[in-house]
Amino acid sequence: MGQLLPLVDPAMAALGLGSANAKTYKLEKPQYDTKFTDLVIGATGPKAHPRLAQIMPSLLRHLHNFAREVNITVSEWTMAVDFINECGKMSDEQRNETQLLCDILGLESLVDEITANQLATSTTETPSAILGPFYRHDAPLLPNGSSIVTLSPSLPWYEQAIADSAYLTGQVLSSSGGGKPIPLRNAIVDVWHSAPNGLYEQQDTTQPEMNLRGRFVTDANGRYSLYCLRPTAYPIPDDGPAGKLLSLLDRHPWRPGHIHFIVSALGHRSLTTQIFDSRDEYIKQDSVFAVKEELIVDFKPRQGDPQAKWELEYDFVLGLMADQGEEEKDEAAVL
C-alpha cells in the first residue's frame, strides 16, 4: 500500500527538514534489509564492556527502527550530525549546550527519575531534579545566615532584587529514622540560582564571580540558613542549536523561577534537586520538564528583617547509600 510522504519545501530542505505545510505525493513504502541491524549488533566482540554489551543492542534496534520508520535521508542525517557537532563546539566550562539539548528533549529529567527510583531506599526522600547546565564546583563556603547575593545600586535589576530578597532556612534530614526523619549534622547545602535578569553569574559580566552561589554546613540540629532571592522565570539560552530546535518545534524557551541545590551528607546519597516558586506562570510549562509537585513552594512575607521581604522554610530528606562502603566515594559529601 502506498505511503503519503511530504514534498520538501526548498527552505526547509536547506536545513534537511520537511515543511510542516508541504504538499504530499504517493510513494510505495521502501523495503529494507531486515538482517542489517542484527549484523551491526553482532559486530560487538566478546570482550566488550559489560554494560555496553547489555544496552547497545537495544539502542541500535531503536535507532535503526526510528530511521526506517520515518525514512531518514542522507541530508537529514548530515544535518543531525552537524547539529550535534555544533552543540559540542559551543560547550565549555560556562555553558553545556549538549546537556541543554538533552534538557529540552526531556531526556535528563527522564534519566534523573529512572536513577532516583533505582537508588531510593525509602518513600520519604525529597524528589530529585536535573542538575542543569550552569552548576559550578567549589562555590564559596559560607556561615549559616550569610547572603549569597552581592548587589550594587548600579545594576539594572537592583530594585527587583530588593523586592525579591528572601530568607531561606530548613533542615537536612535522614530517611533512616523511618516515620520520623533524623537531623543530619555537617551536611552540605550547595545552592545557586539566576539573577532577576535571568542570567547566572558566568553568563553575566556585570555580576561578580560566584554571585548567587554558596555552600552551607548544617548545625547540630541539621539546620541551614541563608539569604537569597525569590527566583525569577527566565528563558534558557536560545542563541545556539538547542534554541534553533525549540523554534522549529514552535516551543517557548521559558523556565519557571527555581533555585538549585545539591545536598549531601556522609553515608547518604547526594541529592540534586530544585524548588519552584508557585507564583510563576510557567510552573506547568517548564521548557525542560523538571517541575515536580513536591518541589513547588510558597514564599511567605517576612516581617521585621531589613534583609528580606520573603521567607521560606524547606527541609531536605536524604536517602541512605545502599552500599555503606561507597560513602567515601561520594565527592559531594566531602568539603
Q: What kind and span of H or E run contains 224?
A: strand 223-229
| Per-residue model confidence as pLDDT tens for the chain (335 residues) | 445 555 554 445 545 555 555 555 555 667 889 899 999 999 999 999 999 999 999 999 999 999 999 999 999 999 999 999 999 999 987 788 999 999 999 999 999 999 999 988 888 899 999 998 889 999 999 999 999 999 999 999 999 999 999 999 999 999 986 678 899 999 999 999 999 999 999 999 999 999 999 999 999 999 999 999 999 999 998 999 999 999 999 999 999 999 999 999 999 999 999 999 999 999 999 999 999 999 999 999 999 999 999 999 999 999 998 764 444 334 333 33
Prediction pTM value: 0.81
Tell me the domains of the chain and their CATH numbers.
Answer: 2-89 (no CATH), 97-333 (2.60.130.10)
Q: CB under 8 Å, gap of 24 or more: what pairs does 274-283 form?
A: 274/129, 274/130, 274/132, 275/312, 275/314, 276/231, 277/230, 277/231, 280/231, 280/233, 280/256, 281/233, 281/256, 282/233, 282/254, 282/255, 282/256, 283/256
